[in-house]
A and B are shown apart, each in its own frame.
Chain A
Amino acid sequence: MKIPLKYTLRNFQSRRLTTGITVIGIAMVVFVFTAVLMLAAGIRKTLVATGSTENVIVARKAANGEISSIIMNDTYNIIMSIPQVAKTADNRPMATGDVVVIINLTKIGTSGGISNVTVRGVSQPAFQLRPHVKVVEGRMFTWGAREVIVGSSIFRRFEGAQVGSTIKFAGDAWTVVGKYEAGGTGFDSEIWGDVTQLQDAFNRPGSFSTVTFRMASSDQLDAINKSFAGDNRLQQFEAKTERRFFEEQSEFMSIFISALGIFITVFFSVGAVIGAMITMYAAVANRTVEIGTLRALGFRRRSVLAAFMTESIIISLVGAAVGLFLASFLQFLKVSTLNFGSFSELEFSFTLTPETITSALIFAVLMGLVGGFLPAVRAARLNIVNALRSA
């Protein structure tokens, strides 16, 4: 027969302080565990959302990011001759050769703190390729002018990045004429201008960083890769879907943060498990007579074991709930960091995914199981006569 759950719940009341401390310990571990996974998920989500699966981006094979890739004009023309490149209404390739560079801007609110910001030069089809990029304040830059538009997270965080002001780089003053939003993607952390203007200013005529084009119909990546493999002039280049490309940019950071975070939370959890173990051992020791009585009443050893395991798991689940509840508030927080994939600032928010919640709960139950098992075994193995006599 099972020991009623009520017995377990009542026990919490009699040792509130110790139980509370154990719950807080587990909540802290779950909070840190969740926060780390949320951070890694946030970076990934932002960059995955940046790229579309319908677009293909071409970069140099050896390049780690857009800034270290170089594609010369003749290569650009070869890529444009591939039949899988979609055409615009006026029968031009729906493609943009982007120039991607990094400039330093001063952060608002920090005394002189500067940071790396991505500047992307695009050509006209870029706005058809990336329809989520929309000018929301001011106006679009004029093609052929030294004008730029800034992403919403740059607009907020950097000096001189407001509509109407000018940003000085490459020996010129560039007027900020508009602010765009890109739906919380990586493009929000960039500055966009006319590619020919940027090529000119940075003294890089006839060279791009990457080339992005729309596939004529989806799932043509294999055919495109075949064209690349079959053309000697394209051996040093690699085509990927835009989504895959930007997702890869998040890989290093998200793996690094998750690995470090999990490595450390495992240590934390050892502390929390030991806390739970101490609490449960004390609970058993204090209730020796009670356990003897239960056994005398006819409850089996396994019922006693189950009752103490349940107690420990409830403690850990309550801890997990508290930890997750607190961590869920992090979703309102926007943070930014230098992304090693692109070497520039990327703004993103903590993202709570269902997988994160599940892993946190499993993690907490594991802590409860490990912490409660030995004490519960001790309780179950008590000899009835000795237990009743022990008071």
Chain B
Amino acid sequence: MRILKLMFKNTLRHKLRTFLTIFGIGVAVMAFGFLRTVVTAWYSGVEASAANRLITRNSVSFIFPLPLAYKDKIAKLPGVETVSYMNWFGGVYIDKSQFFARMAVDPETALEVYPEFIVAPDQLAAFKNERNSCIIGADLAKQYNFKLGDVIPIEGDIYPGKWEFVVRAIYQPRDKMVDGTQMWFHWAYLDERMRQEMPGRAGNVGWYIIRIKDPKDAAQISEEVDKLFQNSRAETKTETEAAFQQGFVAGTGLIISLLNFMAFVIIGIIMLILGNTMIMSARERTKEYAVLKTIGFSGSHLTKLIAGESIIISLLGGGLGIALTYPIVGLFSLVVPKSWFPIFYVEPMTLILAGSSALLVGIVASLFPIQRSLRTSIVDGLRFVG
């Protein structure tokens, strides 16, 4: 245990340098934690997907609709529990920078397929009963200070014209994996207006959400659905919700690679800071190590001494970084509109990765000074002048 005491004493010999090193590592680990959090936020749609949900969309691309008539045909397939449908509404609230997801849904089935959106029964009934009502997420309500009974005016783009929706229900996300910034309204309300203004676009559905009994049947049911509409004018592509979300994320793979590359660079920077400090310290103590060797301490003692000091510093830095990650992630989600990254929190895995990379860096950074001090002969060491 005495060696442990010596390690600690050694870290305190250059208090300023040790402090700077710990602080530097801390900042870098925090940056690492922050980056990882952004990456996980990017994939949140995939992570939040339920295994028993399938998405059926037009096979040409997601911007093309499907006929409403497909609903009953899909519902008849064995293994299918509920079929719901949605349209992406788009539009502009106040101005183009105020983005949140707006969807036309089937009020009867939407909450059956998305049980993670929790709504009080009386609010749900109020929502179902009123044709131009909408249901919004708790986070969205907080962001714009919407209350029950408020009217949300929206200027349509895909569905041109002025639209108004009355807030009749506010849903609570079941956990922090669930997006609390969506707005849903009656599909029938949208369809009614399309029938009057653009008859060619009435009866169109953006995509179907299919809840199946057993997630194991996902592949087979997907195939069966697509087979139903093969060679029709609107062929379908059915996949699990996770695969559907993954498709959106895959397009921005470049940004993910950029973020991952940055995370890699950060580890390199931590390594340089700590390595620099350890090399300097070992160099200054060359004489001391020679004395230790002279009085009979073995190479393994020196190894433990140097590696131990390096690991102590790196772990302190790592701890500081992890502690700093929370406030910086908090700050970021305050600054950035909630609807950009609806799901933004520090995953436990991020902390494990940050901690273990700090430890790894601590070990690697001590390798060079250890090798140098072991190789220096006692005579050279005693003769060394800084």
Partner-B contacts on A (CB < 8 A): 17-18, 21-22, 24-25, 28-29, 31-32, 35-36, 39, 60-64, 67-70, 101-104, 113-116, 169-171, 202-205, 236, 257, 260-261, 263-264, 267-268, 270-272, 274-275, 277-279, 281-282, 286, 335-338, 343, 345
Task: State which of B15-23, B69-77, B140-148 sits at the interface with chain A.
Answer: B15-23
A268 near B64 (CB under 8 angstroms)? no
Chain A's closest residue to B336 (CB) is A259
Interface residues of B in 231-277 (CB under 8 A from A): 233, 235, 237, 247-248, 250-255, 258-259, 261-262, 265-266, 268-270, 272-273, 275-277
Which of B128-136, B151-159, B301-309 is found at the contact surface with chain A? Answer: B151-159
Bound-complex Cα distance A36 to B253 (A): 15
Q: Most chain-B CB neighbours within 10 Å: which of A32, A39, A271, A277?
A: A271
Closest Cβ neighbor of A25 among chain B residues? B272
**Complex CA distance for A336 and B262, rounded to whole angstroms:** 18
Interface stretch, picked from B48-56, B88-96, B178-186, B351-359, is: B88-96
Please give me the residue from chain A that is nearest to B32 by CB atom.
Answer: A267
Asked whether, in the complex, the Cβ of A264 is within 8 Å of the Cβ of B31, the reply is: yes
Are A101 and B64 in contact, with the CB atoms below 8 A? Answer: yes
Task: Say whether B63 contacts A236, CB under 8 Å.
Answer: no
- 10 A-B pairs, CB-CB below 8 angstroms? A25-B272, A32-B265, A70-B157, A101-B61, A101-B64, A204-B200, A205-B200, A271-B28, A279-B276, A281-B17
Partner of A62, one of B92, B235, B266: B92
Nearest-CB distance from A206 to chain B (Å)? 9
The smallest C-beta distance from A333 to any residue of chain B, in angstroms, reads 11
A-side contacts of B255, CB under 8 Å = 257, 337
B19-43 interface code vs A (CB 8 A; 1 in, 0 out):
0110111011011001100100000
Cβ-defined contact, A21 with B258, below 8 A: no
* B262 in contact with A169 (CB, 8 Å): no
Given the complex of chains A and B, what is the CA–CA distance between A68 and B21 in angstroms? 52
Contacts of B35 in A (CB 8 A): 264
Given A25-B273, A270-B27, A281-B17, is A335 in contact with B61 using a C-beta cutoff of 8 Å?
A: no
Q: Decide: B16 and A268 in contact? CB cutoff 8 A.
A: no
Set A25, A169, A270, A337: member contacting B254, Cβ < 8 A: A337
Establish whether residues B269 and A271, one from each chain, have CB atoms under 8 Å apart when the complex forms. Answer: yes
Is A337 a contact of B157 with CB atoms below 8 Å?
A: no
Residues 183-215 of chain B: 1 if any A CB is under 8 Å from the residue's CB, otherwise 0?
Answer: 000000000000000001000000000000000
- Give 9 nearest A-B pairs by CB, closest first: A338-B251, A274-B24, A267-B31, A62-B157, A337-B254, A63-B157, A62-B155, A62-B92, A25-B272
Interface residues on B, range: 35 or more
Q: How far is the CA of A101 from the CA of B61 in the complex (A)?
A: 9
Minimal beta-carbon separation of B125 from chain A (angstroms):
32
| B262 in contact with A278 (CB, 8 Å) | no
- A115 to B62 CA separation, bound complex (whole angstroms): 11
A282-B30 in contact (CB<8A): no
- Closest chain B CB from A316 CB (angstroms): 14
The CA of A261 and the CA of B35, in the complex, are separated in Å by: 10
Asked if B60 and A21 sit within 8 Å, CB to CB, the answer is no
In angstroms, Cα B251 to Cα A113, docked, is 9
**Which residue of chain B lies nearest to A69 when distances are taken between CB atoms in the complex?**
B157
Report whether B262 and A68 are in contact in the complex, using a CB–CB cutoff of 8 Å. Answer: no
Instruction: Knowing A68-B157, A271-B28, A286-B386, say if A278 contacts B17 (CB, 8 Å).
Output: yes
Given contact pairs A68-B158, A279-B276, A36 touches B258 in the complex (Cβ within 8 A): yes
CB pair B280–A18 under 8 Å, yes or no, is yes
Say whether B279 faces chain A, with CB atoms less than 8 Å apart.
yes
Chain A residues near B200: list those with CB within 8 A. Answer: 203-205
> Chain B residues near A343 (CB, 8 Å)?
63
Which of A29, A36, A205 meets B269, CB within 8 Å? A29
Residue from the list B21, B96, B269 in contact with A28, Cβ < 8 A: B269
Please indicate the chain B residues that have their CB under 8 angstroms from the CB of A275 in the complex: 24, 269, 272-273, 276
A271 and B24 within 8 A (CB):
yes
Q: Which residue in chain B gives the minimum CB-CB distance to A64?
A: B96
Contact string, B91-115, partner A, CB cutoff 8 A, digits 1/0?
Answer: 1100010000000000000000000
Q: Is the CB of A236 within 8 A of B28?
A: no
Is B330 close to A, CB under 8 A? no
Q: Is B160 at the interface (CB under 8 A from chain A)? A: yes
Q: How far is the CA of A277 from the CA of B27 in the complex (A)?
A: 15
A116's contact among B27, B61, B386, by CB below 8 Å, is which? B61
